[in-house]
Chains A and B, each alone.
Chain A
Amino acid sequence: MKRSVGQILGRGGIRIPLILWTIAVLYPIFWMFLGSFKSNAEIYRNPWGFPETFNWQNYVDAWTNYNIGTSVLNSFIVTIVGAVLTLMLAIPTAYAIERINFRGSKFLFTLYVSAMMIPMVLGWIPLFFLLSDLHLLDNIYGLAIVYAVSQLPFTIFVLTSFMSTIPKSLEEAAAIDGLSPYGVLWKVITPLSMSGIITVTIMNAIQFWNEYFMALIFLQSSEKYTLALAIDFISSEAQYTNAWGTLFASLVIAIVPVIILYAIFQKRIAEGMTEGAIKG
C-alpha cells in the first residue's frame, strides 16, 4: 500500500495528543509518589520535580501521627467482608432468576436492575437512622453490609448474564446423577461461573476500597475510619499543619493495592466495567 505524505504526517501527528494525554494521566500519579518522599520544605521549594533524597519519614508519620495502619485494616475488612457477602447474596439469586422458572422472576430481575439507576442519596438519610437503631452505625461491619447490598444489583446483573452462557445439559446431567439443587448450585454452577465471579468481585472490591461518601455518613469516630476518610481527614488537617508529605504518603498507600489489582487483572477490570455500562 502506498501512503501519501499527508497520511504519514497524520499518523505522527495523531500521536501528539495521545502522548500528551498519557502525560496528563501519569504525571500527577508519579508526582504523588515522588511527593511522598519529600520533606514539607522541599515540597514548597520544588513541588513538581524529583526529590533530593528518598526518605520514608512521611510514611512513618502517617503511621504514627494519623494511625493510618488502623484505617488500612478497616478498609481491608470492609472490602473483604463486603465482597464476600455480596457474592453469598448474589450467586443464589442470580442462579434462581436465570435458571428456575417461577412467577415474578422477570419482575424481580427488573426490580434489582432498575435499582442501579436510582440515586441512593435519598435513601442514605433513613439508612442512617436504621443503622443507628440496629447499632450498626459507626461500625465497619454495618458499612460492609450496606456496601454489599449497594452492589447487589450490579453483581446479580453481571452474574445472570454470565450464567446464561452455561449449557443447561450440564445441570441436567448432574441432577440425573442424583445431585440436589443445592449441589448443582454450589458444585456445578458456581465453579463454571468462576470467571464471572472473579471479575465482578474484583470490581466490587475496588469499589468498596475506594468508597468515600457512605463511609463519611455512616462512620464517625476516627478509629473506625476507612482509608478514604483518613485521607480526607489528613487533607483537611494539612490546610493548617502543612503536612503535605504525610498526605501524599497516605494517598500512595491507598492507591498501591488498586495498582496491583489493575496490573494483574487489567483486562478483566476493563472488560467488566465496559460490559456493565453497556448492558446496564
Chain B
Amino acid sequence: MVQSKKQKYMFLAFCLVPTFILFAIFTLYPLFSGLYYSFFDWSGSSSNKTFIGFGNYIKLFNDAIIPNTIIHDYFLVVTKVIGIMVLAMFFAVALTQLKLKEAPFYRVIFFFPNIMSVVVIGILWMFIYNPSIGLVNSGLEFIGLESLAKPWLGDEKWALPSLVLPSVWAGIGLFMLMLIGGISNIDKSYYEAAEIDGATQWQQYWKVTVPLLWPQIKIAILYIVITTLNGSFVIVQVMTGGGPNNATHVMGSYLYQQAFVQFNFGYGATIGVMILVLSLLTVLILQFFMRREKVDY
C-alpha cells in the first residue's frame, strides 16, 4: 500500500481518538472518580464535600445492612446458577438428544424472555405474586393449599426467594442455546462408542455430555455470576425497591438508595467500590476452581 507514515497516523487517529475520548469521559473517568469520591463525605453540592479518608469504609464495615445486602446478592447468585443451569441443561439435552420435530418452536419461545425489559418482567411477576388476584395464590387455593398463600413480595422471609423465579424465567433461554451450541459440536461417535460399551442414557449424560460440554457450562456459570453481581439490583428495584424492611436489598439497590435517594454520594461510591472488588474477586476465585483439564477422548 502506498501511503506515507503521516497519512497512516492520521487515519489511525481518525479511527481511534474520538471513540477513545468518549470512552474515557463516560466510562473510565467515572470509574476512577468513583474510587476517589469514596474518600469523601459528600451530599452532592460542591461546598460540603469533605475529605474523610477511610471514614466511609469504616462506616461500611459497621453498617448492619451491608452484610445482608452481600448475603442477598450471593443468595441470588447461587439460586440462579442452580435454577438456570439445571433447567437449561435439561431443556438443552431434551431438545438435542430426542430429535423432537417441534424443537425449534421451544427454542424460539424459551429465548423470548431474554430480550424482555426487566421492567416488564418485574411488573408481570408482581402480578403473578399479587396477594389477592395473583396466579400463585389463586393456584394454591385451587389445589386446596390456601394455608400456603401469602403476600409473597411483602413477606420478609419470602420476598427474596420470590425474586429468583422471575430471574430464572427470564434467563433460561440464552443459556439453553449456549448449551445446545456446545452439544451439537460433540462428535456423535462418542455416543455410539458409549452405546456399544453398554452405557445407559444417564451414564452417557454424565460421562460424555457433561465433560465435553464443560467449557460451555463454565462460561454459562461465570456469565450468570457476573450479570447477577453487576445487575441484580435492577429487578430488585422494580419489584420490591429493597423492601420490605430491607429484606431484599442487594448491594446495587442499597447504593442507589444511599446515593440517589438519601444523597450520601460519598458513601454510595464506597458501596460501588465494594461491588467492584467483590465481583472481580468472585470471578477470579470461580475461574480458579473451575479450571478443569480439557477432556480429550
Do these two chains really belong together in a complex?
Answer: yes
Interface, chain A (partner B; CB < 8 A): 10-11, 14-15, 17-18, 21-22, 24-26, 28-29, 32, 43-44, 47-48, 89-90, 92-93, 95-96, 100, 102, 108, 112, 115, 117-130, 145-146, 148-150, 152, 172, 175-176, 181-182, 185, 206, 209-213, 216-217, 228, 231-232, 235, 247, 251, 254-255, 258, 262, 266, 269-270, 273-274, 277-278, 280
Q: Is the CB of A255 within 8 A of B120?
A: yes
Q: Is the CB of A273 within 8 A of B114?
A: yes
CB-defined contacts of B230 to chain A, threshold 8 Å: 117-121
Rounded to whole Å, the gap between the CB of B239 and the closest CB of chain A is 10
Q: Specify the main secondary structure of chain B where it touches its partner.
A: helix
Q: Is the CB of B16 within 8 A of A14?
A: no
Q: How far is the CA of A206 from the CA of B108 in the complex (A)?
A: 17
Residue of A nearest to B103 (CB): A18
Q: Is the CB of A118 within 8 A of B107?
A: no
Q: Is the CB of A14 within 8 A of B98?
A: yes
Q: How far is the CA of A28 from the CA of B129 in the complex (A)?
A: 12
Q: How far is the CA of A269 from the CA of B174 in the complex (A)?
A: 10
Rounded to whole Å, the gap between the CB of B125 and the closest CB of chain A is 8
Stretch of B33-41, B61-69, B289-297 with 4 or more beta carbons under 8 angstroms from chain A: B33-41
Q: How far is the CA of A43 from the CA of B234 in the complex (A)?
A: 27
Q: Specify the main secondary structure of chain A where it touches its partner.
A: helix
* Number of CB contacts from chain A to chain B under 8 A: 235
CB-defined contacts of B54 to chain A, threshold 8 Å: none
Q: Is the CB of A217 within 8 A of B260?
A: yes
Q: Is the CB of A149 within 8 A of B27?
A: yes
Q: Is B128 positioned at the interface, with any CB of A under 8 Å from its CB? A: yes
Q: Is the CB of A100 within 8 A of B15?
A: yes
List B residues 75-89 near A (Cβ within 8 Å): 87
Q: Is the CB of B12 within 8 A of A96?
A: yes
Q: How far is the CA of A279 from the CA of B8 in the complex (A)?
A: 31
Q: Is the CB of A89 within 8 A of B22?
A: yes
* A123 and B30 contact, Cβ closer than 8 Å, known pairs A93-B16, A117-B283, A212-B117: yes
CB-defined contacts of B190 to chain A, threshold 8 Å: none
Q: Is B178 positioned at the interface, with any CB of A under 8 Å from its CB? A: yes
- 15 sampled A-B residue pairs with Cβ under 8 A: A10-B98, A18-B91, A21-B106, A22-B110, A108-B16, A115-B23, A123-B27, A125-B272, A149-B25, A210-B115, A210-B119, A212-B237, A213-B233, A255-B116, A277-B219
Q: Is the CB of B123 within 8 A of A251?
A: yes
Q: Is the CB of A266 within 8 A of B108?
A: yes
Interface, chain B (partner A; CB < 8 A): 1-3, 7-8, 11-12, 14-16, 18-20, 22-23, 25-27, 29-31, 33-35, 37, 44, 87, 90-91, 94-95, 98, 100, 106-120, 123-128, 132-135, 138, 169, 172-174, 177-178, 181, 216, 219-220, 223, 226, 229-231, 233-234, 237-238, 252, 255-256, 259-260, 265, 268-269, 272-273, 275-276, 279-280, 283
Residue of A nearest to B224 (CB): A277
Q: Is the CB of A146 within 8 A of B26?
A: yes
CB-defined contacts of B100 to chain A, threshold 8 Å: 11, 14-15, 18
Rounded to whole Å, the gap between the CB of A195 and the closest CB of chain B is 18
CB-defined contacts of A127 to chain B, threshold 8 Å: 26, 30
Q: Is the CB of A126 within 8 A of B34?
A: yes
Interface pairs A-B: 9 shortest CB-CB: A122-B272, A123-B30, A210-B117, A96-B15, A92-B15, A119-B230, A47-B133, A122-B34, A149-B26
